[in-house]
Amino acid sequence: MIKRLLPLLIGLSVCSVALAQDMPATAQSATTTTQTTTTVSTWTSQPPAGALNEEAIKTAIADAGYKEVKGLKFKDGVWRGKARGGNKQWVELAVGPVSGKVYVNDAPSRLNKDEVAAKLAAAGYQNVHDVEYEHGLWSADARTRSGSDVDLLVDPDDGSVVAKSRD
């Protein structure tokens, strides 16, 4: 457990320092509105209707700079597999089934736990809890507006829902 948390904590620390350097000391407070597009799939053993097929997913992985793909399978709402990049190192990754966005397992998240929870609340989810970053995506449990309990996979860059499954 500590071996998994240590790289995450180091990555988050480095990201927070980098983000802190972007804000000028004389910045005035400003309100910005960001619209997040949510692309959702229900976790099943098969990709949802409207999802990219396996060949399109492989193309998305290649477009992200990876040369070779192996073990690609649809699991827990996303495509998962391994790919070799230009540095000849194999990395584990997940790919959004509808968007084709590639999420590398050990990449740091741009958002922190509280920001992810806030994005989900803004998207209408209630009782957001058990928010954890693992395998390149945030996972969370929540309740929909209609009262259904759901498991969510969340984009670490913008907080959009990548996949959703009934709990």
Among 104, 122, 145, residue at a domain's last position: 104
Q: Are residues 77 and 91 in the same domain?
A: yes
Q: Verify that 99 and 116 share a domain, yes or no.
A: no
Q: What is the CATH number of the domain that holds 98?
A: 3.10.450
Chain centre distance of CA 79: 12
Rounded to whole angstroms, the Cα distance separating 158 from 109 reads 10
Number of domains in the chain: 2
- 28 belongs to a structural domain: no
- Cα 103–Cα 108–Cα 109 angle in degrees, nearest 5: 80
* Share above pLDDT 70 across residues of the chain, in percent, rounded to a whole number: 72
pTM: 0.70
- Do 59 and 76 sit in the same domain of this protein? yes
Final residue belonging to a domain, choices 104, 122, 139: 104
pLDDT per residue over 107-150, tens digit each? 999 999 999 999 999 999 999 999 999 999 999 999 999 999 99
Least confident range from 41-50, 106-115, 134-143, 156-165: namely 41-50
Looking at the structure, tell me whether residues 97 and 118 fall in a common domain.
no
What confidence category does residue 44 fall into, taking pLDDT thresholds of 50, 70 and 90?
Answer: low
pLDDT at residue number 136: 95
Q: State the residue range of the domain holding 74.
A: 54-104
Using one digit for the tens of pLDDT, what is the confidence trace for 72-91? 999 989 999 999 988 889 99
Predicted confidence at residue 167, as pLDDT, reads 59
The residues, any chain, with a CB within 8 Å of residue 102's CB and separated by 6 or more, are: 60, 61, 64, 66, 93, 94, 95
Residues 132 and 117 in one domain: yes
